[in-house]
Structure formats: structure tokens, C-alpha cells
A and B are shown apart, each in its own frame.
Chain A
Amino acid sequence: MNALIIEDERLAADKLQKLLTELEPDITIVSRIESVIDAINWLNSHEAPDLIFMDIQLDDGVCFEIFDTVKIDTPVIFTTAYDSFAIKAFQVNSVDYLLKPIEKVALFKALEKYKSIYQSRAAISEKLKSIPNQFQTSYKSRFFVKIGTHFHTISVDDIQCFFIQERAVFLRTNQGKKYDLDHSLDQIQQMVDPASFFRINRNYLIHISAIQDIFSYSANRLGVKLKMMDHLDMIVSREKVTDFKNWLDR
């Protein structure tokens, strides 16, 4: 377990670290921080720890200033000598509120509480993530579409891309025909094989074999052109560029 200690008194931090090491021999104290400003800088430049211990009164202000500046999803155990901040502490991800001098039993209980809530939650969410993979071994091979009073079925290999236009979702075939669908683009993305289809941005889910050209659009961004298609907004969003390159090169 990786823990961060935010505490302005060295001796208080020493004591907490000593108790933690006794109770959790596997714990790693990733850093000890004494001020609001250092906490903000640290949290902005490091991977989030598993747990944060936080004193309320710090060298240069009250710890809640940190939450106003950095988004913190990590559970927090607050430590304080005597304060009326408990209510405020519960508005953030607090596991517990420890009073100084910190008693070993109280710290033990706080750690147990953390484990029962957050570690089991993490385990469950891991399991939930793997469920779709277990069930969805086969991807959709055809889409059923309606044109006026006629019905068609279109093979997935015949589809160039799926896209959103004026809030409606369409598929476009290799022949340049366009059909509207009832599913959302997010749903379709789950249905089709990710080896063949890639969601380049919010509006486009494209097939690998439909790509005619890829060009650099601006620093860190790529543009895509599909065969026989002249849409100009097919830009790979910045945060997806790396995944997109990996997908092209798998």
C-alpha cells in the first residue's frame, strides 16, 4: 500500500509513520509534505497514492485548500488535534477522522475501514471490467437496417464507419450508402470488434480497411481520410493519438 503523509509537524509525522509501519509492514510512505502549496505541487506531478493521511492545519493554510485546486479521488484519513472541521472532512473522500494524540487502536480501525470500503471496491471493479470479456467472445457480424418500408442486413466488413451527425447515428457502407441506426455510438463500439474498429473521436468509429490516408493535422493530432468520403472533421482527438497509433500497428 502506498500512502502519502501531509503533516506540518515533523514529530507528528514521525509518530504516524512509526504506527503505520507497525500496523502495516507492507506500507510505503511515498512522501511527507508540510504545506498546502507543496501538497498541490506533489499531487499534480505524481501518480495518486492508495491512501492519504492529512493534517487539517498546515504551515501555510488549511488542507481543504488542496481540494479546491486538485481533484483528489484518493481516500483520505484526516488527523487533527482539536477542530470543528469534521463536517467539512466528510464532504471529501474521507475514510476517517483521527484525533491527536493518535491512538494505535483508532488508527488500526481506520485502516480496516479503508480496506473494507476501498480495497474491496477496487477488487469488485476489476471483476466487473472482466465480465464483458468473458461473455462477449463474439462480436456483431451484421447490422439490420430499415429503408422506408424495406429491410436490409449489412455485413460488418461492408461498413466504412459509424458516425454521429446532428445527434443521429449512422453507418456508412463501402459503397457510400448511409443508414441510420437506433443504437448510440458508445453501444456500437461495444458490439464491434476493436481489432477492426477504432473510435477516433466523439463522432467517428472507423474501420481499419476504410482508411485511405492519415496525415498530421497539428502538433500531436492526426487527421484521417476514408475512401470516397470527404468529411473534414475526422481528427483523432489528442488523448487518443497514442492508442490510435498502437491500433494501426498491432
Chain B
Amino acid sequence: MREEKLIFQYETLKSQVNPHFLFNSLNTLSSLVATDGQLSEQFINKLSSIYRYILENRDIDLINLSKEIGFVNDYFFLQKIRDNGKIDLIIDVKKTENYEILPISIQLLVENALKHNSATREKPLAIKIYQESENLIVENALQPKMHLEPSSKTGLKNLSERVKLVLNKEVQIESGNGIYKVKIPVKQIQ
């Protein structure tokens, strides 16, 4: 059990300190500093928050939903500056303080949606996050990238196992009618 947990933590760390994300962000920043000092500063602050959140919370089992949502917002803020006008995130979750969730879980689902779906100016990608009883749902229109090499689904698989281990519940995936949905359990604070 201990060993399994270590593996998950390691996988989380490995996938979250995603080098592609980091270097792309740094490249964006190196362009931004020349044109917009204020936005650059915001960009640096958010980037720091993201990495601090990962480092501080990767070892814990559950985190307050409001913090995870804040983290997702920071992450998306950076993505939106990069993908200007091609992606959108709609969060509709209430009473987040009353719930807990696995850390870095929603962000992983959002990142997956961005990774696997096409997001162009003509056809932007909208990601919705909302709650249905004991589940949080991350939903997007299914618009897969061209001939994408089949995904190993490691991130999602690890997340499912972490959820099972911590909450003894299942992550559910629904795909149909052009919509892709992942339902991840949350835990109400007693």
C-alpha cells in the first residue's frame, strides 16, 4: 500500500512538472517581457503559484475544493495567454469550501482535454467544470486532434487508482454525442 502510494506520487510529480508546459511558458514569458511588463509579472506570479501548489500538495490525500479550483484557474490563466482566443474554461461550482478533492486532479483532466482536442480560432475548445451531487464533472466537446498517436492514458489511470485508494470510489468516463465527460468524486466535509 505504501509503495503504491509512492508510485502515484512519483507519477503525479512527473506528469505535473511537465517540461513541455514549463518551457512553453518560459518562451511565452520571454516574448511578453518585451511588450507587457505588468502581464509578465502576473504571469510569473501565477507560474510560481502553480509550481508551489504542486510541490506543497502532491503528498497529501485530499485538499479543499476551493484551493484546487484556484489552482486550476491559475493554470488556465497561463494557458489562455498562450492560446489566446482558442480556449475557454467555465467553472460553475458552489460551496467549494464544503468539499475536498484529490490534489492536482481537476487540473490533470483540464490538461488532458487541452492535449487531446483541437482548439483553433475557427473552432475553439470550451471546458466546463460543474458539480453533480458527490461528483465534480470536467466536460468538453469531443474534437480530437488529427491522427493523434494513441494516448497511454497513464495520467487518467493513475488518477483513477488514487481516487479508489483515497475515497474508495470510481472515476467515471462518459463519451458520446460529441461530448467527453469525466466524473471525479468529491468528499463532503463533515
Question: Which residue of chain A is the closest to B29 with respect to CB atoms?
Answer: A101
- Assess the A61–B146 pair: CB atoms within 8 A: yes
Q: With A9-B83, A15-B31, A65-B146 known to touch, is A34 a contact of B23 (CB < 8 Å)?
A: no
A-B contact count (CB 8 A): 79
Q: Is A126 an interface residue (CB 8 A)?
A: no
Residues of chain A within 8 A (CB-CB) of B146 are: 36-37, 60-62, 65
- Assess the A11–B145 pair: CB atoms within 8 A: no
Residues of chain B within 8 A (CB-CB) of A61 are: 118, 145-148
- From 15 to 70 in chain A, residues with beta carbon under 8 angstroms from any chain B beta carbon are 15, 18, 34-37, 57, 59-62, 65
Q: Is the interface of B mostly helix, strand, loop or mixed?
A: helix
Q: Is A1 an interface residue (CB 8 A)?
A: no
Q: With A9-B82, A81-B24 known to touch, is A14 a contact of B31 (CB < 8 Å)?
A: yes
Residues of B at the A interface (CB closer than 8 Å) are: 19-20, 22-24, 26-32, 34-35, 81-84, 86, 118-121, 145-148
- From 193 to 213 in chain A, residues with beta carbon under 8 angstroms from any chain B beta carbon are none
| Alpha-carbon separation in the docked complex, A83 to B145 (Å) | 17
- Assess the A11–B148 pair: CB atoms within 8 A: no
- Assess the B120–A59 pair: CB atoms within 8 A: yes
Residues of chain B within 8 A (CB-CB) of A14 are: 31, 35
| Alpha-carbon separation in the docked complex, A60 to B148 (Å) | 9
Q: Is A100 an interface residue (CB 8 A)?
A: yes
- Assess the B120–A100 pair: CB atoms within 8 A: no
- Assess the B20–A81 pair: CB atoms within 8 A: yes
- Assess the B147–A101 pair: CB atoms within 8 A: no
Question: Which residue of chain A is the closest to B36 with respect to CB atoms?
Answer: A11
Residues of chain B within 8 A (CB-CB) of A8 are: 83
Number of contact residues on A: which range applies? 20 to 34
Q: What are 23 A-B interface contacts by the 8 Å CB criterion? A: A8-B83, A9-B28, A9-B82, A11-B28, A11-B32, A12-B24, A12-B27, A15-B27, A15-B30, A15-B31, A15-B34, A57-B20, A60-B120, A61-B118, A61-B146, A61-B147, A65-B147, A81-B19, A81-B20, A100-B23, A100-B26, A101-B27, A102-B27
- Assess the B28–A82 pair: CB atoms within 8 A: no
| Alpha-carbon separation in the docked complex, A81 to B18 (Å) | 11
Q: With A11-B81, A18-B34 known to touch, is A59 a contact of B27 (CB < 8 Å)?
A: no
**Leading 8 A-B pairs by shortest Cβ distance:** A15-B31, A61-B146, A100-B27, A60-B118, A81-B23, A101-B27, A82-B19, A11-B31
- Assess the B120–A35 pair: CB atoms within 8 A: yes
Residues of chain B within 8 A (CB-CB) of A178 are: none
| Alpha-carbon separation in the docked complex, A102 to B118 (Å) | 25
Question: Which residue of chain A is the closest to B25 with respect to CB atoms?
Answer: A81
Question: Which residue of chain A is the closest to B32 with respect to CB atoms?
Answer: A11
Which of B29, B81, B86 is A59 in contact with, Cβ under 8 Å?
Answer: B86
Other A-B contacts than A59-B86, A62-B146, 10 sampled, CB-CB below 8 A, are A11-B28, A11-B81, A35-B118, A60-B119, A60-B146, A61-B147, A62-B148, A65-B146, A65-B147, A81-B27
